Amino acid sequence: NGAICIQSCSPSFHGETSFICEGRKWQMFADACASLDIQSLFQVRELLHIYFDLFIAKTAPPSTRVHNCQADFSCIIPDILSSPAIPGNIADIVELLNKISLLLSDNVNRGKMQSYSRIANHILNSSTISNWAFVKDRNASSVLLDSVNLFAGKLLLRNGSESIQEHFISTKGYSIHKNTSGKSFDFNMEFNNTGNITGHVVIPEEELLKLPKTSTAVSIAFPTLGAIIETNRLDAVFVNGMVLSVSLPEELRHVLLTFEKVNKLENVKAQCVGWHSTERQWDNRACKMKSDNISSVVCLCRHHHRTFKSFSILMSPTTLRNAVLDYITRTGLGLSIFSLVVCLVIEAVVWHHVTRTEITYMRHFCLVNIATSLLIADLLFILATIFMHNTALNYPLCVAATFFLHFLYLALFFWMFTLGLLILYGLLLIFLKITRSVFIVAAFSIGYGCPLVISVLTVAITEPKNGYLRIGACWLNWYETKALLAFIIPALSIILVNMVVVVVVVVKTGRSSVGEGCKSQDLSNMIRISKNVALLTPLLGLTWGFGLATIVDSHSLAFHVTFALLNAFQGFFILLFGTLLDRKTREALRMSCFSSKRKCSLTK
């Protein structure tokens, strides 16, 4: 595994093909075999000489002409269009277009732009997308995008406008000035054999007012380049619309873009992004979403002539929703909320009967806070799903909801951690007695103070970079900033610590039973608390373990359904193992019911 094999091309091609050994099989990962000979087809220096002859001296000596090539270098087009769009040829054509944009981008007239577009269209064809995966230079698609943007940005306009249309690349230019009442570019282009997609670019009026003089605005549309970037790069991105590029005067900083979605599934969320030319990756800091519906997305994007000139929309790679999953989540959360309300009612009824000793008081105090934290979190989760379908339009509310969900779910675990510390206190620090007031202060500092610090630091670090929220959901980001680790690491650490505490209890009680022959009341209480911890900790750990599995394998429906079930029934687990199965609580509840001379169905 990992071995590389280089193989020569067939006699009619030049270059080489590279293979890598994976799983005891040779897999091709780069194909540089090409039939085009760019050096003989297009000599940049000689063509540059012709260029000056034609535009300066007005004459071009025949001896210096390459195939009598005209100033728009259209003479090379037949050879290029007749060549197969194989990976090696694609790489050569990208290099050719890059050289043209760097050396011959002065006075780009309609003829030049048409020739350039026809060459680019040949390798942007939807039938060539799969071949881009084997182009040796993984940045080839980025080089192509930058080259086209540079060349088209210098387009000269005739009568104040220009439009050059090919199947897979379209260029439009307009003359703009501050008195223009908003300028728009409309594109309707073929994506594949099944249909077309559209794009719309608008320069807002408030931006045009910044122009000191009449200027040129150019926009380029690429219906297939997003898919090409996906295949040409190792990281998983899902472009769900055409790529729209704009070339604007430096005074103009913002542009409004509308993208039609390729994938129009109801629950597929979108994210507005800009292509960072230097970092060569999609960057969500360039755009803000204005609206998102089932068919299209409107983005307000920041234009910068060096970094952000191209924009598109990404599809969330983790959107895995269906009716069954939503039904399980809602039904389970309803049961969880009902269970937590019942739990808190029972605790209120039996409070004076079960909190007579310091240890039992501390135990029920922790249990009430665990149930309260989860109850508020469940209610907030339901409200977020009902009122915040569109995370872009409700972004501030979504940030607030995510902050409190993060805080409350962490509080649930930190109160579990407080229970674990209570067990260690009762078993190991026998002669150290603490008052209720000291315990309450310490418990609140751990149960709510630590989650608050973690939640505040998480939003403060990630939100300025637009990396706090996950795409299309009011929850912590994972793919860009790993903000979710601020929940995963504390939760899993507490689960591990509490399991160690349970082991300590088993060892301690075993020694006590052998050495003393009987158990003290405090030791009996510690065993009761440790049973709660021993039952709840694995269930909570299993729940969020499956939550982590949904991130590792985001396309597994089994993981999502299991996590939805366990997560939704956490309230029922707390009611069952924290209250109903506790003998002292049942006895206190029976006494309360008997003293009030009312039949209590819960006792049954």
CA atoms lying within 13 Å on the CB side of residue 112: 19
Question: Is residue 322 over pLDDT 60?
Answer: no
Q: What is the pLDDT of residue 69?
A: 54
Sheet holding 4-8, edge to edge: 4-8, 16-22, 25-31
Of 49 and 262, which is predicted with more confidence?
262
Average pLDDT over residues 381-387: 76
Reduced to 3 states (helix: H, G, I; strand: E, B; else coil), residue 297 is strand
DSSP state string for 1-23: ---EEEEEPPTTSBSEEEEEEET
Q: Would the pLDDT of 532 be above 90?
A: no
Most confidently predicted of 103-117, 173-187, 398-412: 398-412
Q: Residue 29: which residues within 8 A CB-CB, separation 6 or more?
A: 18, 19, 20, 134
Residue 573 in any domain: the answer is: no
- Per-residue CA distances from 486 to 335, 403, 533, 570 (Å): 28, 11, 23, 21
Whole-angstrom distance, CA of residue 339 vs CA of residue 198: 50
Domain that holds residue 207: 159-320
- Tokens coding 61: 């000596």
Question: What is the mean pLDDT of the segment spanning 238-245?
Answer: 90
Q: Is residue 26 part of a domain?
A: no
Phi, psi (degrees; rounded to nearest 5) at 257: -125, 140
What pLDDT score was predicted for residue 354? Answer: 83
**Taking residues 321-349, what's their average pLDDT?**
83
- Distance between CA atoms of 313 and 272, rounded to whole angstroms? 5
The share of the chain scoring above pLDDT 90, in percent, equals 27
Residue 220, pLDDT > 90, answer yes
Query: What pLDDT is attached to residue 212?
Result: 85
Predicted local confidence at residue 24, as pLDDT:
83
Domain end point (choices 140, 156, 172)? 156
Question: What CATH code is carried by the domain that includes residue 454?
Answer: 1.20.1070.10
* pLDDT reading at 445 higher than 80: yes
Least trusted range by pLDDT, from 4-18, 67-81, 119-133, 312-326 = 312-326
Q: Is the pLDDT of residue 411 over 60?
A: yes
Claim to verify: residue 358 and residue 301 sit in the same structural domain = no
On whether the CB atoms of residues 239 and 231 are closer than 8 A, the answer is: no
C-alpha distances in Å from residue 41, one per residue of 51, 246, 598? 16, 31, 98
Is residue 604 domain-resident? no
567-588: per-residue pLDDT in tens?
777 888 888 877 887 777 888 8
| Selected residue with higher pLDDT from 231 and 132 | 132
Closest to 313 measured CA to CA, from 269, 276, 280: 269
* In the predicted structure, residue 124 carries a pLDDT above the cut 90: yes
**Mean pLDDT within 259-267:** 79
Q: Do 496 and 407 fall into the same domain?
A: yes
Q: What is the pLDDT confidence band of residue 338, given thresholds at 50, 70 and 90?
A: very high
Shared domain for 295 and 389, answered yes or no, is: no
Q: What is the mean pLDDT of residues 594-602?
A: 53
Which pLDDT does position 369 carry in this prediction?
94
pLDDT digits (tens, 9 = 90+) for 511-520: 554 444 444 5
- Say yes or no to pLDDT of 522 above 60: no
pLDDT at 535: 59
> Is the confidence at residue 473, as pLDDT, over 60?
yes
Residues 201 and 69 in one domain: no
Is 397 found in the same domain as 286? no
Secondary structure of residue 252 in the 3-state scheme: coil
Tally the domains of the chain: 3
Concatenated DSSP letters of 119-159 = HHHHHHSGGGGGGGGG-S-TTHHHHHHHHHHHHHTTBPPBT
- Token pair, residue 515, equals 């050495």
Across the strands, what pairs with 28? 19
The DSSP bridge partners found for residue 398 are: none
Q: What is the mean pLDDT of residues 266-270?
A: 67
pLDDT of residue 384: 78
Of 144-158, 196-210, 543-557, the poorest mean pLDDT is in 543-557
Residue 335 falls within a domain, yes or no?
Answer: no
444-463: buried (b, 16+ CB within 10 Å) or exposed (e) per residue?
A: eebbbebbeebbeebbeebb
pLDDT of residue 363: 84
Residues 410 and 505 occupy one common structural domain: yes
The pTM score is: 0.55
Claim to verify: residue 302 and residue 191 sit in the same structural domain: yes
Residue 220 belongs to some domain of the structure: yes
Whether residue 407 sits in one domain with residue 526: yes
The kind and range of the H/E element at 587 are: helix 583-595
| pLDDT band at residue 553 under the 50/70/90 scheme | low
User: Average pLDDT for residues 351-374, to the nearest whole number?
Assistant: 88
Distance from C-alpha of 507 to C-alpha of 510, rounded to nearest angstrom: 5
Indicate whether 199 belongs to any domain. Answer: yes
Q: What is the pLDDT of residue 528?
A: 55
Q: Give yes or no for residue 394 having a pLDDT over 80.
A: no
pLDDT, tens only, 9-57: 988 888 999 998 887 889 888 899 998 876 666 554 455 444 444 444 4
Q: Give, rounded to a whole angstrom, the gap between the first and last alpha carbons of the chain.
A: 64
- pLDDT above 80 for 385: no
Q: 3-state secondary structure string, 355-388?
A: CCCHHHHHHHHHHHHHHHHHHHHHHHHHHHHHHC
509 shares its domain with 451: yes
Q: What are 565's strand-pairing partners? A: none
Contact 234, 30 (CB under 8 A): no
The model's confidence at residue 244, banded by pLDDT at 50, 70 and 90, is: very high
Residue 9 included in any domain = no
Q: Which of 111-125, 354-368, 587-601 has the lowest mean pLDDT?
A: 587-601
* pLDDT computed for residue 330 by the predictor: 79
Residue 46, amino acid: E
CATH code, domain carrying 223: 2.60.220.50
**Neighbour count for residue 284 (Cβ, 10 Å):** 18
* pLDDT tops 90 at residue 371: yes
| Rama region for 472: left / alpha / beta (φ>0; ψ in -120 to 50; rest) | left
More confident residue, 493 or 431: 493
User: Please, what is the Cα angle at 222 between 218 and 228, to 5 degrees?
Assistant: 140
Domain boundary among 539, 555, 571: 555
Same domain, 458 and 528: yes
- 148 and 188 assigned to the same domain: no
Q: How far is residue 376's CA from residue 373's CA, in Å, rounded to a whole number? A: 5
- State pLDDT tens for residues 474-519: 788 876 788 889 998 998 898 888 888 777 777 766 655 444 444 4
Burial of 122 (0-12, 13-18, 19+ CB in 10 A): buried
Residue 346 to residue 578: CA distance in whole angstroms:
11
Task: Give the residue from 156, 176, 208 where a domain finishes.
Answer: 156
- At residue 65 the predicted structure's pLDDT band, cuts being 50, 70 and 90, is very low
Q: What is the DSSP string of 518-572?
A: S--HHHHHHHHHHHHHHHHHHHHHHHHHHHHHHHHTTT-HHHHHHHHHHHHTHHH
Residue 578 φ/ψ, nearest 5 degrees: -90, -25
- The answer to whether residues 312 and 282 touch, using CB atoms and an 8 Å cutoff, is yes
The answer to whether the CB of 67 falls within 8 A of the CB of 41 is no
Structure-token pair, residue 591 = 């006494």
Q: What is the amino acid identity at position 568?
A: A
Q: Which residue has the tokens 């060549």?
A: 83
Average confidence (pLDDT) over 300-323: 75
| Mean per-residue pLDDT over the chain, rounded | 79
Query: Exposed, middle or buried by CB within 10 Å (0-12, 13-18, 19+), for 72?
Result: middle
Assign 564 a pLDDT band (cuts: 50, 70, 90).
Answer: confident
**Spatial CB neighbours of 442, under 8 Å, sequence gap ≥ 6:** 434
Interval 135-141 mean pLDDT: 89
Which residues are bridge partners to 298 per DSSP? 258, 291
Under DSSP, is residue 59 helix (H, G, I), strand (E, B) or coil? coil
Q: Based on the domain organization, do 91 and 152 belong to the same domain?
A: yes
User: What per-residue confidence (pLDDT) applies to 434?
Assistant: 77
d(CA 440, CA 436): 6
Q: Could you tell me if residue 596 is inside a domain?
A: no
pLDDT of 552 > 70? The answer is: no
Least confident of 236-250, 335-349, 387-401, 403-417: 387-401
Specify the long-range contacts of residues 227-235, CB closer than 8 Å, at least 24 apart. Answer: 227/126, 227/129, 228/124, 228/129, 228/132, 228/141, 229/141, 229/142, 231/129, 231/130, 231/132, 231/133, 232/132, 232/133, 232/135, 232/138, 232/139, 232/140, 232/141, 233/138, 233/141, 234/138, 235/281
| CB-based contact 52:46 (threshold 8 Å) | no
Q: Are 201 and 257 in contact (CB under 8 A)?
A: yes
pLDDT at position 64? 41
